[in-house]
Amino acid sequence: MLKDALMQNKLMKIYGFSLLITVVAFASAGLANESENTSQRNPKMVDNPEPVTNDDTSLIPKTTFEGAVLEFDFPSLHIGVAEYEEGPTGCTVFYFPNSAKSVVDIRGGLPGTIQGIAAADGGISAICFAGGSLYGLEAATGVSAEIFAQNGYSSIHGVRGAIIYDFFRDNWIYPDKALGRAALRAAKPGVFPLGARGAGRSATCGKWLLKPFQSESAGQGGAFRQTGPTKVAVFSVVNSLGAIMNRHGEVVRGHYNPQTGKRHTLKDVVNVPPSDDNGANPSVGNTTLTLVVTNQKVNLDELRQLAKHVHSSMTRAIYPFHTSVDGDVLYAVTTDEVDNPDINHFVLSHIASELAWDAVLNCFEKGEPENP
């Protein structure tokens, strides 16, 4: 009993220390230039003398939605989505009721995470993606608190989280602890809302080319494949500086020119007029969050390599990607349920990489261009 108590105390210190280091590091990097960059991202935020916030608004979590969904068969993964329509903003929670193990791969210059360091790799109960920039990390603490309560306030349940910047609006409402708890309560297997839902509620993409080009709304996408007993799913919240590319190398979302009705790749930039504002720089509020989940048994080293492989492959779907003003984060998770000899980790990485491209392409509604 004494040994168990000492081990639990050690685990609590490790989780607490890694959480503190991650939050402090992000705050130092991100908030250092926050005031400098806010007006560039959304002048309305600066001009509004009385901003609308969580503290002065009665917020009601929304956890049921209409519209496109991905339906899939993965009983050991539960997904919950919750939004504040008043933002609009939201969070998306991936819950593993039987626990699982995870690793993280971080690219780009401006990530924001909880437990987003390699030292936190290992056992996991949930992963929470949220809007709200740094403040949206609070949603992950709500997920952790709700799991704690549902398990009779026993043991330590690891929750990892990451955020996107979605304050392209006229208020400061963010996914808070209550929204994280609501998302966890709503979590169920087999259904994932697509498009501008959850953490992707106010996401945008294609912000590298400046005026007259426009960014467009994006959101969260998912894809699933089963080969024999092996299940693989990929989910991505796209809020990228880069535009979304199809498998023919064409831009299908972002970098939209309303004057011509066309979207442009970066290779087109030498043939298009320069920005109306020669002093402007690309927006700094960008991040793509991705989760790869499999039930195939793989060790941590193989899982780390899978994460690197898939994250690198996503440059085919989003370009440019992993820039100094993106905060791209990918978590890879295994529930360690099956040992399929027909699928080694090389094949697993290939399958997951193709699914990641599908997930990005499923993050927005097809049809007419949409302004964010």
Q: Which of 327, 289, 11, 334 is nearest to 158 (CA)?
A: 11
Rounded CA separation 247/358 (Å): 10
Locus of tokens 């039930």: 295
Rounded CA separation 13/187 (Å): 29
CB 227 within 8 A of CB 343: yes
Q: Which of 325, 216, 210, 209 is nearest to 277 (CA)?
A: 210
Q: Which of 317, 288, 283, 302 is nearest to 349 (CA)?
A: 302
Catalytic machinery residues: 287
The SS3 call for residue 293 is strand
Rounded CA separation 146/150 (Å): 6
Residue 354 is which amino acid? E
**Residue 108: left (phi > 0), alpha (psi -120 to 50), or beta?**
left
Q: Which of 176, 179, 169 is nearest to 134 (CA)?
A: 176
State the DSSP string of 153-164: S-S---EEEEE-
How would you label 86-109 residue by residue, b for 16+ Cβ within 10 Å and e otherwise? ebbbbbbbbbbbeebbbbbbbbbe
